[in-house]
Amino acid sequence: MIGYLRGLLAGAAPPHLVVEVHGVGYEVEAPLGLFAQLPAQGEALLLYTHLVVRDDAHLLYGFGRESERRLFRRLLKVTGVGPRLALAVLSGMSEQQFCEAIAAKDVARMAKIPGIGRKTAERMLIELADLKDEFGPAFPPSGPLGDAIAALVALGYKDHEATVAVRDASREGPGTREDLVRHALKRMIR
């Protein structure tokens, strides 16, 4: 297994890039978001990689963060999701957006990713329901939602309870952190 590549960026044409490591050019497929973060050609680059061995090819996939590679590997464990579809997911939304969609059970948001239909999105939601447990606080919602969840957790509510209550409260309409906490508490007390 190739854990990572540290070398020079030799070329990039999405979704492929070439990393030169000690005179050997490794062709790597990567999520589209990575291409916006690449250094100039000829500069140093570190990619966390995942090697897929097939009868007809060895395919190397690269990621800018180890957590992104972990998410890719979790996606590969979902029934019916192969490397290309997992790469499409990571190209279609950030890690945080994906984890938020899983936590919110947002099938419609998942199905907007090219190549993912409603049934695949539903299967992902079921098979990746424990994603928050694995990735933990690395993927909290941002903005007022995240602040409201953090406030409820500080009051002693469990993270999952707080997340569900705040998301339900946010469906009534956007509001400030205080509004979300107030509405979420009303829901939790019932």
Q: Which CATH class is domain 4-63?
A: mainly beta
In this prediction, residue 138 carries a pLDDT of 44
Q: Residues with Cβ < 8 Å from 173, sequence gap 6 or more?
A: none
For 137, which DSSP code?
Answer: G
DSSP assignments along the chain, one per residue:
---EEEEEEEEEETTEEEEEETTEEEEEE--HHHHTT---TTSEEEEEEEEEE-SS-EEEEEESSHHHHHHHHHHHTSTT--HHHHHHHHHHS-HHHHHHHHHHT-HHHHHTSTT--HHHHHHHHHHTTTHHHHHGGGSPPPHHHHHHHHHHHHTT--HHHHHHHHHHHHTT----HHHHHHHHHHHHH-
What are the pLDDT digits (tens) for 9-41?
999 999 999 999 999 999 999 999 999 889 999
Q: Which residue ranges make up each domain of the chain? A: 4-63, 66-136, 140-189
Bigger pLDDT: 40 vs 173: 40
Report the range of poorest mean pLDDT among 56-65, 70-79, 97-106, 153-162: 153-162
Geometric angle at alpha carbon 146, from 145 and 152, rounded to 5°: 90
* Region 146-161 average pLDDT: 77
Enter the pTM of the model. 0.70
What are the pLDDT digits (tens) for 50-88?
999 999 999 999 999 888 999 999 999 999 999 999 999
Percentage of the chain exceeding pLDDT 90: 48
CA 85, chain centre distance (Å): 13
Q: Are 171 and 179 in contact (CB under 8 A)?
A: no
Bigger pLDDT: 89 vs 166: 89
Name residue, tokens 């969609």: 101
For domain 66-136, the question of CATH label 1.10.10.10 is answered with no
Bigger pLDDT: 11 vs 178: 11
Tallying the residues shown for the chain, one arrives at 190
Averaged pLDDT score across all residues of the chain = 87
140-189: what fold? Helicase, Ruva Protein; domain 3 (1.10.8)
* d(C-alpha 25, C-alpha 167), whole Å: 47
